[in-house]
Structure 1
Amino acid sequence: MKKLVYCDETTDIVGPGIEMVDTLSPGGKFIVRTNPGCWGNMITPSIKSWHEVGRPVAIEDAEVGDAVAIKIDKINVLSRATSSGTDAAQGEYFKSDPGIDSFCPNCGTKNPDTYIKGTGEEAIKCQNCDSPVVPFTMPHGYTMYFDNKREFGITVDENISQEIAEKANEYSNLTSAGMQHSINVFAKHDMPGVPARVIPMIGNIGTVPAMDMPSSHNAGDFAQFLLGAEHEYACSEKDLNNRSDAHMDVNEVREGAVIIAPVKVKGAGVYVGDVHAMQGDGEIAGHTTDIAAEVEITIDLIKNLNNLGPIILPNLEDLTPLTKPYTEEENKRINETAQSIGLSYVEREMYPIQMIGSGADLNSAAADGLKKLAKLLDYPLDEVKNRVTVNGDICIGRAPGIVNITILTPISKLKEINLAEIVKNHYTEK
């Protein structure tokens, strides 16, 4: 089997019905050339998802119940500019979901092919009748230009946004095989002159779900839109258990981090997409700076972990003070204190893991993540709550319903579940 696979093919749907691009040996590298997520796809009616992502790769010997450890080695930002902002769905252009079952209200064509004529929100035209097809508008938006080193971006004014819109695909750096229009064509300029640091992260990375679904809806919050829908990807509450929660939008998922993703189908089907130039916790505008990128990851196989959702090992600098591993000096003082009061047992070596929780809202997501942690670590739920309170935290990945729950975990417990080596090495290797 191969130790290196390159992919520049994209798909809007993920699941067992989607052909894998190739098969990779455990320990091998997967390099993915991605197009932007969200906005470009949202204004392209032929795409049946809010994302186009890289086609998945199969991992040799991966079976349902296993996990894959995905180390993010490199994120290379390729876009020179991007546009984003808040969204407003336009009801006359879709039935159930503006990103899945849009149609042209003039000629009635479902998911019509479209072309670009001019710039602005009505530049997307139906190939069949030449009428504008606009499932989403952007009530407040911006165009951001990146410096040559991709270290920061600056939002631009009307004149510059228009120049970028006229060469929209070039500034987005879309692949020739991609499906989406560039969102730069909107020429948005509502908040010029705002600088932002480029800290690239990946919004949609993990394994394919156990049923075919739009890649953007492979998460407990977005999947709510599939319940009772009128399109072919409609599902029931029970069907939601097939998701793998790869669409996390957790900003700790960046270079150096590890994602331990559950295997839901034979071969796992690891995929990457929706790279962001930067994103604050919560992605509260609903969307951020979607970019084209080349992502390099290393994928290892963990047998029989049976994790119910993604586990993240963040970079040390991304951890809050309560959740960082204890230093040698701290452990010395902890031991001295325990001895001074005659306490015979103290957890002397602890490392943080993050569990993703997802649901219809943030309370549901927190409950989901806590239950998954309790099952993984074989702790009572109340003990998980106490541990997360005194040496953990719950952070918002994405509103309305993704959280990442960090818990300092004793090395003895990590050994029980066969995660001690990968977790300890992540936080101790230089």
Structure 2
Amino acid sequence: MSAQASTSPSAPQAVEHLHVDRYTRGVIGPSLPMLGPVRDGGRITSGTPPGCWGPMITPLFQGGHEVTQPVAVEGAAVGDALAVRILRCDVVSRATSSGVMSFVEGRYLGDPFVAKLCSACGTPSPASHVEGIGGDAIHCDVCGAEVNAFRFANGYVIVLDKENRVSLTLDREAAERIARAPHELAALPGASEQHSILSLARADMPGVAAHMQPFLGNIGTMPSADLPDSHNAGDFGAFLIGAPHRFAMSQEELDRHKTDGHMDTNSVREGAILICPVKVPGAGLYMGDMHAQQGNGEIAGHATDVSGEVEVRVEVVKGLELDGPILLQRPDDLPPMARPMNAAQRAHVEALARQFGQKQIERNGPITFIGSGTTLNEATKVGLARAAKATGLPYDEILNRATIAGSIEISRLPGVVRVTFLCPLDVLDRMGIGHLVRQQYGIEA
């Protein structure tokens, strides 16, 4: 069931469950109609197309991903937050391709993710088609010229065993065999418009076995101005500042409008709770860019982007004004210093308090703030500042907590980080998320 959100008296009633099967062409923002609304506490499911390489080699797209059409949530107003429980995050693709990128000069205006053009006929963002296999397989529908703005500097095709959570990169012969009929293994959703990256058949490092641990690289609420979906973050978004295309912004505009949905944070996976800022009425939840695996830091610039199936449950948190996301990671994803103490450890702490005459022992729980910026240092400062603003704790206290009872972790180069620390439960209650933290980590009231 789907319907456009509206504020008119005839607006559709909120539904308990909404399945999304429509996608964007790389842009997310207020110009897009929202589906729904879904009721507060309801569920959203979707089959999500791959991000990154497929949209990158599809000139029609004006962003680096192909995310779901945004969904309105009943009761979500500007200045609230939206808690998103990730109930299911399953890989559907049986193969994908990725690697380190390089650009083809003359085939884009300022930014190859956003403003592609055909260097032969000058058509901006042309429709295109696949002819043959390999790096030169993408051709302009207008003039027929080869039109791909990207090349692999080093790339691979990888096959996936989702049941046993293992994967393997292939040699050139196998990669070319898949490239001639990529659609079955890519398993793109029916309404997806991207070309399959499997068509390029790059195979520079065959025989590498790797674990699988799927997560969502781009999930969040709609920014308050149209943005390329891949640029809804402080590092990629910096390329919009003074850009020579229609998405150009100032730094102040970018900071005001973005919601940092593009995190590439490998702990945004099944079992996690993501708490997102609401910057447009209805929130406009969207998701995509599932990765089959990635370590701490998308060092290569791209990971293994796959088609997936996602199920989430949403909850409006009234009056929690955020600039960027909060993440309640799975207990097994928490950095060791931020894990809640068990009963035996608490007993030892109580004994230590008695020994030194300390009467108060803080009750606390883990919380993670996402920070983004042009560098890792800048992203860390942003994450720390967001933590201080949202909690009301002094900035220097956040520094101390993140040092002795938390951690700073890389999510993506050049500039997305996780700032995690143990936060007093009374502060979390005041923020309106204490119940979520207690549920997530089994903390008694």
With normalisation by structure 1, the TM-score equals 0.98
Match of 2:315?
300
Q: Which amino acid aligns with 1:311?
A: I
Shift of residue 74, structure 1, vs aligned partner = 0.6
**Counterpart of 2:38 in 1: which secondary structure?**
strand
Taking the aligned partners of 1:179 and 1:96, their CA distance within structure 2 comes to 24
Taking the aligned partners of 1:209 and 1:365, their CA distance within structure 2 comes to 19
Shift of residue 150, structure 1, vs aligned partner = 5.8
2:438 matched to 1:424?
yes
2:304 matched to 1:289?
yes
Which among 225, 229, 241 is matched to residue 243 of structure 2?
Answer: 229
Contact 1:13 1:215 in 2 (8 A): yes
**Counterpart of 1:64 in 2: which secondary structure?**
coil
Shift of residue 149, structure 1, vs aligned partner = 2.3
**Counterpart of 1:140 in 2: which secondary structure?**
strand
* Unmatched tracts of structure 2, length 5 or more: 1-13
Residues 85-96 of structure 1 aligned to structure 2 (within 5 Å) = 85-96=99-110
Taking the aligned partners of 2:403 and 2:280, their CA distance within structure 1 comes to 35
Shift of residue 147, structure 1, vs aligned partner = 2.3
2:160 matched to 1:146?
yes
Give CA deviations for 1:17-62 in whole Å, capped at 9, x if unaligned. Answer: 1111221001101001111000000001110000010111000010
Which among 154, 160, 164 is matched to residue 174 of structure 2?
Answer: 160
**Counterpart of 1:188 in 2: which secondary structure?**
coil
Contact 2:179 2:198 in 1 (8 A): yes
Q: Which amino acid aligns with 1:360?
A: T
Match of 2:22?
9
Shift of residue 176, structure 1, vs aligned partner = 2.7
Residues 54-93 of structure 1 aligned to structure 2 (within 5 Å) = 54-93=68-107
Match of 2:338?
323
Shift of residue 339, structure 1, vs aligned partner = 1.4
2:353 matched to 1:338?
yes
Residues 1-400 of structure 1 aligned to structure 2 (within 5 Å) = 1-11=14-24, 12-147=26-161, 149=163, 151-241=165-255, 242-347=257-362, 349-400=363-414
Give CA deviations for 1:203-224 in whole Å, capped at 9, x if unaligned. Answer: 0001011111111100011100
* Unmatched tracts of structure 1, length 5 or more: none
Number of equivalent positions: 429
Shift of residue 377, structure 1, vs aligned partner = 1.0
Bigger mean CA offset, 263-272 vs 335-344? 335-344
Contact 1:32 1:296 in 2 (8 A): yes
Match of 2:416?
402
Which among 402, 412, 421 is matched to residue 426 of structure 2?
Answer: 412
Q: Which amino acid aligns with 1:201?
A: F
Q: Which amino acid aligns with 1:215?
A: D
Taking the aligned partners of 1:360 and 1:265, their CA distance within structure 2 comes to 25
**Counterpart of 2:116 in 1: which secondary structure?**
coil
Contact 2:365 2:443 in 1 (8 A): no
**Counterpart of 1:87 in 2: which secondary structure?**
strand
Shift of residue 235, structure 1, vs aligned partner = 0.5
Contact 1:77 1:150 in 2 (8 A): no
**Counterpart of 1:351 in 2: which secondary structure?**
strand
**Counterpart of 2:216 in 1: which secondary structure?**
strand
Give CA deviations for 1:375-397 in whole Å, capped at 9, x if unaligned. Answer: 11111111110111010110001
Taking the aligned partners of 1:133 and 1:358, their CA distance within structure 2 comes to 32
Contact 1:41 1:50 in 2 (8 A): yes
Give CA deviations for 1:139-191 in whole Å, capped at 9, x if unaligned. Answer: 10000011262621110111110111111222211123212100001101111
Taking the aligned partners of 2:117 and 2:429, their CA distance within structure 1 comes to 53
Q: Calculate percent identity across the aligned residue pairs.
A: 42
Taking the aligned partners of 1:150 and 1:123, their CA distance within structure 2 comes to 33
Q: Supply the RMSD in Å over aligned alpha carbons.
A: 1.2
Contact 1:43 1:136 in 2 (8 A): yes
Match of 2:7?
none
Q: Which amino acid aligns with 2:432?
A: N
**Counterpart of 2:193 in 1: which secondary structure?**
coil
Taking the aligned partners of 2:253 and 2:193, their CA distance within structure 1 comes to 28
Taking the aligned partners of 2:119 and 2:49, their CA distance within structure 1 comes to 28
| 4+ long deviations beyond 6 Å | none
